[in-house]
Amino acid sequence: MRISLPLGSPLPSILYVSITGPVAPTLLDVSYRKAKVEDFPGILNLIRNSFDGVLREHGFFDSSPFASPKLPAIPQQGFPWFEMGLKEDGEGFWVAEVEGKLAGLTLSWVRGSLWYLAHLFVSPDYQGLNIGQNLMDRTMKHHKGSTITNRALATFAYNPVSISLYARYGIYPREPLYWMEGPSQQVKTGASTKLRNERMVDFEKARSILTRIDELTLGYPREKNHEFLFGLPTVRCHLFSSGKEPVGYAYVWQNGRVGPLATVSHEIFRDVLKSAFRLAAAEGAPNVGIAATGSNEQLMQVALEQKMRILDNYLFMSSKPFPNFSNYVLYPTGAML
């Protein structure tokens, strides 16, 4: 099933999908219902346990920065990403139960004509009951009254079972996605930028600018996603302008991670990316990190210049190709592309 660590909790946020674990007896009764606030702690536990299981199975547990021993403790209260999902996209937020125990979950969000699968998990204890497919059937009906023209997600690149599941729903592999990290002290800070950088703190002031950049870069507005990010204390949004014209944005996290990042043209992408790396290094975290799409040569080149190395690899999938990943950095979380 799919693994996506939620934003807004003290977790690194990166989404993945896996179908693994023992086959459960077919006599068990599975029930499905909409998620509730009371489910959130159990959902987070299921995500972490499933994620660790996939990492161990494929030999990435020790190297991945997202294995549970490297994450902060599970929060005692407050799950802002789940809370937003329940409020904004409750029709796509389902759980599966077996004998009263949480066995699986799914959460999709819809922005305009884009449907995005943020989470799809099945507990390793309850494999073999068709839970993943049944959850997928339910969340695929989520559309918020819009005509869906594209569907997207990110998953482990090394899990063919999950990839095959999504392909059966018309969601095909599009982009290799590499999580890369490097020491903050290795980030090159000497280059200057001709672009003006302004930290945005007022979402209403930034709303129309960010929407315009997203529509030019991705073809979809993501206002709710940006609003959510603006409400988190652990991330800052920086707007880049050429003269008076906004040409890109970058989110920089206190843990040194960069993304999402978008520019209106390929020509200024490298400059914005280098600036974002410098801002991330200045946060004081030991490492800077980014999700690099394999087709974006500039992104890969700049990341390698910063002495970053690949720690894990994933796959971006969609039913139709996206307009252009050469101007965009995907931060692969449930909250956004």
Cα distance between the two ends of the chain: 19
Average pLDDT value for residue range 204-232: 92
| pLDDT value, residue 50 | 86
67-119 pLDDT per residue, tens: 888 877 766 567 888 999 999 999 999 999 999 999 999 999 999 899 999 99
Higher per-residue pLDDT: 56 or 66? 56
**pLDDT greater than 60 at residue 13:** no
pLDDT for position 287: 95
Overall average pLDDT of the 299-322 stretch = 93
The structural domains of the chain, ordered by start, are 2-170 (3.40.630.30), 181-329 (3.40.630.30)
User: Contact, 175 vs 332, CB < 8 A?
Assistant: no
pLDDT attached to residue 42: 93
Q: Which residues have C-beta within 8 Å of that of residue 69, sequence separation ≥ 6? A: none
Compare 332 and 273 and report the one with higher pLDDT. Answer: 273
Average pLDDT, the chain: 87
Tell me what pLDDT residue 231 has: 92
pLDDT value, residue 1: 42
| Position 146 confidence tier, pLDDT thresholds 50, 70, 90 | confident
Looking at residue 333, its pLDDT comes to 65
> So what's the pLDDT on residue 251?
96
Q: How much of the chain exceeds pLDDT 70, in percent?
A: 88
What whole-number distance in Å separates Cα of residue 44 and Cα of residue 330?
23
In this predicted model, which residue has the larger pLDDT, 331 or 21? 331
User: With a threshold of 0.85, does the pTM exceed it?
Assistant: yes
pLDDT of residue 21: 43
Question: pLDDT higher for 248 or 28?
Answer: 248
Where are the strands (E) in the chain, listed by range?
2-4, 15-17, 30-34, 93-98, 101-111, 114-122, 150-156, 172-183, 196-200, 235-242, 245-253, 258-263, 287-293, 309-318, 328-329
- Phi and psi torsions of 146, nearest 5°: -95, 155
Query: Between 261 and 158, whose confidence is greater?
Result: 261
CB proximity list for 155: less than 8 A, separation 6 or greater: 2, 3, 16, 17, 18, 162, 163, 166, 314, 315, 317
pLDDT value of position 3 = 38
Query: pLDDT value at position 9?
Result: 37
Which pLDDT belongs to residue 73? 72
